């Protein structure tokens, strides 16, 4: 081999080394530079082919890295979309649950209000019924006393006086505003008053009977006295 050929081979090797050092990418494949055997002829086609293979391998590595990064970004984007959709669904579910609970609460309040109104209405009706019953009982008791007095004689003066006294003592009843307990107290008071009137009535009746007895006794004496004198002008009626 001549000196010129050796110098050419050395220059080619230096240029290849420089090119390798300048163009070596980040993802360079593990391909060793072609060795030029000593004393042999340089095959530039082989060197070019190997360089193309190396460039293709590097390009393929870059492409693969790009697709790997792109796939990773797509997966992250899909995961983000899924998280957003999941949060949206959870928020919608929470709102639905809150709406149902609020509706149930409103229904419970409405039912409780209706129940209380019905209970108050029932209590009012019961109290009204009790008041009417108590008034009816008092009216019957008082009416019975009045009828008894009327049957025993409306023509006597004492009875007329008694009716007048009773009319004066009679007061209108205003018990609509009274509670059940106060209504019972009022009924008791009226009953005691009625018993007092009955006692007074009995005393007057006994007094009337005594007066009738005295009058009849006097009439009998007058008749006996007239018969004794022979001037009887008819019998005088007895007081009944």
How many angstroms separate the CA atoms of 197 and 205, rounded?
12
Res. 144: pLDDT tops 50: yes
Residues 164-201: pLDDT tens digits? 776 766 666 666 666 777 777 877 888 888 888 888 88
Q: Which of 9-18, 41-50, 79-88, 224-233 has the lowest mean pLDDT?
A: 9-18
How many angstroms separate the CA atoms of 92 and 144, rounded?
77
pLDDT top residue among 41 and 210: 210
Residues 222-238: pLDDT tens digits? 888 877 776 545 555 55
Q: What is the pLDDT of residue 110?
A: 92
Res. 79: pLDDT tops 80: yes
Work out the percent of the chain whose per-residue pLDDT is above 70: 64
pTM (2 decimals)? 0.30
- Whether 138 and 190 have beta carbons less than 8 Å apart is answered as yes
Mean pLDDT of 51-59: 89
Res. 96: pLDDT tops 90: yes
Q: What is the pLDDT of residue 3?
A: 46
Res. 154: pLDDT tops 90: no
């Amino acid at each position: 081999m001549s000196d010129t050929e050796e110098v050419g081979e050395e220059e080619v090797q230096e240029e290849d080394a420089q090119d390798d050092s300048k163009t070596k990418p980040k993802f360079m494949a593990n391909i060793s530079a072609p060795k030029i055997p000593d004393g042999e002829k340089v095959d530039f086609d082989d060197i070019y082919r190997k360089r193309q293979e190396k460039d293709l391998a590097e390009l393929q590595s870059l492409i693969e890295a790009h697709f790997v990064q792109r796939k990773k970004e797509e997966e992250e984007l899909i995961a983000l979309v899924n998280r957003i959709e999941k949060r949206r669904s959870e928020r919608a579910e929470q709102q639905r649950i809150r709406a149902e609970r609020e509706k149930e609460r409103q229904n419970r309040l409405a039912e409780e209000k209706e129940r209380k109104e019905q209970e108050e209405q029932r209590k009012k009706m019961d109290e009204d019924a009790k008041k009417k019953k108590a008034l009816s009982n008092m009216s019957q008791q008082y009416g019975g006393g009045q009828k008894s007095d009327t049957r025993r004689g409306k023509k006597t003066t004492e009875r007329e006086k008694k009716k007048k006294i009773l009319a004066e003592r009679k007061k209108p009843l205003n018990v609509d505003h009274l509670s059940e307990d106060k209504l019972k107290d009022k009924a008791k008071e009226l009953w005691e008053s009625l018993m007092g009137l009955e006692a007074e009535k009995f005393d007057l009746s006994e007094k009337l009977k005594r007066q009738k007895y005295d009058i009849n006794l006097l009439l009998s004496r007058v008749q006996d006295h007239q018969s004794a004198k022979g001037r009887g002008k008819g019998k005088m009626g007895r007081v009944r």
